[in-house]
Amino acid sequence: MHQAFLNFEAARELGEQAAAACLAKARRADPEFSEKASAAILAHLRVVHQASGEVLVDVAIAMGARPHDSRAFGGVFQGLARKGLIRTVGFCLREKGHGTSGGRVWGICQ
């Protein structure tokens, strides 16, 4: 197998492990974190139909899903996408990443 592919797979695995650890810590601090975050994200998307991940994180925090680290939302988005409740509908420049690329625009699945 190509070396770059192996490095990508290893990096993806490490990223998934870090996201799971961050989400687990948020759940230890607030056992209802995932439910609060999911409910806020879905409620907002039902109204606006699509929004950037950064906007959705801000909405969820405003609605009471306050993790120790905003990276805990990665696992929430991943779970909602795996359940077929949301999907990526585009990409955008990141506001919190100082205009860097890589922001996702999420849409609610009908």
Number of domains in the chain: 1
Does 85 or 100 have the greater pLDDT score? Answer: 85
Q: Could you tell me what percent of the chain has a pLDDT over 70?
A: 95
* Mean pLDDT (whole number) for 48-76: 96
Its pTM stands at 0.86
Buried b (16+ CB within 10 A) or exposed e, 48-63: eebbbbbbbbbbbbee
For residue 22, which of 100, 63, 77 has the smallest C-alpha distance? 77
CATH code of 22's domain? 1.10.10
**Average pLDDT of span 39-56:** 98
- pLDDT exceeds cutoff 70 at 49: yes
pLDDT at 46: 98
Question: With b meaning 16 or more CB within 10 Å and e meaning fewer, what string describes 74-99?
Answer: bbbbeebeeeeebeeeeeeebeeeee
Question: Domain range spanning residue 14?
Answer: 3-108
Q: List Cα–Cα distances, 84 to 11, 36, 97, in angstroms.
A: 25, 18, 27
Q: What percent of the chain has pLDDT over 90?
A: 68
